[in-house]
Amino acid sequence: MLYVKAPAKINLTLDVLYKRPDNYHEVEMIMTTVDLADRIGLESRHDGIIKINSTNGFIPDDNRNLAYQAAQLIKDTYGIKKGVSITIEKEIPVAAGLAGGSSDAAATLKGLNELWNLGLSLDTLAELGAKIGSDVSFCVYGGTALATGRGEKIQKLPAPPTCWVVLAKPKIGVSTAQVYGGLNIDEIEHPNTKKMIEAIEKEDYSLMCNSIGNVLETVTFKLHPEVIMIKEQMKRFGADAVLMSGSGPTVFGLVDNESRLSRIYNGLRGFCDEVFAVRMLGERNPLA
């Protein structure tokens, strides 16, 4: 059995520039992976079948599963006759704005490249990933990056300034399509993506905190007002910056001090079942 980690992502910024003729939105967003991860196990099969087993009963075990789609795509593109048993040990909350399914797909692409000795580059895997979903290309590379286009054009960035990230997911699932569909392009307050890149490049923690922004927040807030409450609680417990990730509903808070981290983590557990204290992956100066 080959195991591959599939980390969650958060959006430090998410801007929408315009709606495209293909009905996707042209985005500009800065994403980073965090150390909350699913674990994907891959075992080759001789019967050609793709089989999904998951520890989470709420995700599909057929061709609606993004890891299944990744395996099918590799098989079809490279004419592979073998099959694969895919085990998904789910740690990332589902339909949370943390790209759980996309990361499982990316890990499956990377794992099968190894398992079946295909010798594909990360760029090729990222191109394949874009056929599965807009977030999959980013998940293939991981780390920190600026994503443009519909999210599939990736420019790597250095690791962000060192801090803790508290993730809190209220008990609701959000449909990404519904959130993008509810966006009023004329009313957008654009985040300053350039300033965020500057903050990351200069390792400036307070500039990073001042530059976070996500234009999808207002849409999800209208659909699910409880997300606003989670955001307010996180601020009240002492986070330096608070934002919704992706299309939500997960809210994350940034904090660079361990005692405030405990306060936020413990405080939020009173409001949400799913709360995690994590680190951004690939930080330059790990705290501990």
Ligand X SMILES: Nc1ncnc2c1ncn2[C@@H]1O[C@H](COP(=O)(O)OP(=O)(O)OP(=O)(O)O)[C@@H](O)[C@H]1O
Q: Which residues carry out catalysis?
A: 9, 135
State the nearest-atom distance from the C-beta of 144 to ligand CDM, in Å: 13
Q: Is 287 annotated as a binding residue?
A: no
Token pair for residue 92?
């990332």
**Does residue number 13 form part of the binding site for ligand CDM (CB under 6 A)?**
no
In this structure, the strands spanning 2-19 and 213-214 are parallel
Q: Is 159 annotated as a binding residue?
A: no
**Distance (Å, rounded) from C-alpha 239 to C-alpha 233?**
9
Distances (CA, A) of 128 to 49, 57, 140, 141, 246: 20, 27, 10, 13, 22
Q: Which is nearer to ligand X, 96 or 277 (CB)?
A: 96
Q: Is 37 annotated as a binding residue?
A: no
**Does residue number 134 form part of the binding site for ligand CDM (CB under 6 A)?**
yes
Give the contact letters, 61-90, x = binds to ligand X (CB under 6 A), - = no: ---xxxx--------------------x--
| CB neighbours of residue 168 within 10 Å | 27
Give the one entry of ligand X, ligand CDM, none that residue 180 binds, where binding means its C-beta sits below a cut-off of 5 to 8 angstroms depending on kind.
ligand CDM
The CA-to-CA distance between both ends of the chain, in Å, stands at 31
**Does residue number 145 form part of the binding site for ligand X (CB under 6 A)?**
no
Give the one entry of ligand CDM, ligand X, none that residue 13 binds, where binding means its C-beta sits below a cut-off of 5 to 8 angstroms depending on kind.
none
Q: Is 267 annotated as a binding residue?
A: no
Cβ atoms of 168 and 234 closer than 8 Å: yes
DSSP state letter for 183: -
- Ordered alpha helix ranges (H), 46-175: 66-78, 100-115, 122-130, 136-141
Q: Which is nearer to ligand CDM, 113 or 137 (CB)?
A: 137
State the nearest-atom distance from the C-beta of 153 to ligand CDM, in Å: 11
**Distance (Å, rounded) from C-alpha 111 to C-alpha 43?**
10
Hey, CA dihedral for 169, 278, 138, 124, is it positive or negative? negative
Token pair for residue 220?
């999800």
Give the one entry of ligand CDM, ligand X, none that residue 64 binds, where binding means its C-beta sits below a cut-off of 5 to 8 angstroms depending on kind.
ligand X
Out of 4, 98, 130, 254, the residue judged to bind ligand X by CB under 6 A: 98
Task: List binders of ligand X among 150-179 (CB under 6 A).
Answer: 176
Buried residues in 3-12 as b, exposed as e (16+ CB within 10 A): ebbbbbbbbb
Part of the chain binding ligand X (CB under 6 A), chosen from 28-36, 94-102, 204-212, 270-278:
94-102
Q: For residue 110, count CB atoms less than 10 angstroms from its CB and return exposed for 0-12, middle for 13-18, buried for 19 or more.
A: buried
Q: Is 71 annotated as a binding residue?
A: no
The number of residues that bind ligand X (CB under 6 A) is 21
Q: Is 94 annotated as a binding residue?
A: yes
Part of the chain binding ligand CDM (CB under 6 A), chosen from 81-89, 173-181, 198-206, 265-273:
173-181
Give the closest residue to 42 by CA, choosing from 32, 52, 34.
Answer: 52
Binding residues for ligand CDM, rule: CB under 6 A, are: 11, 14, 24-25, 27, 29, 99, 102, 133-135, 150-151, 176-177, 180, 246-247
Binding residues for ligand X, rule: CB under 6 A, are: 59-60, 64-67, 88, 94-102, 104, 135, 176, 246-247
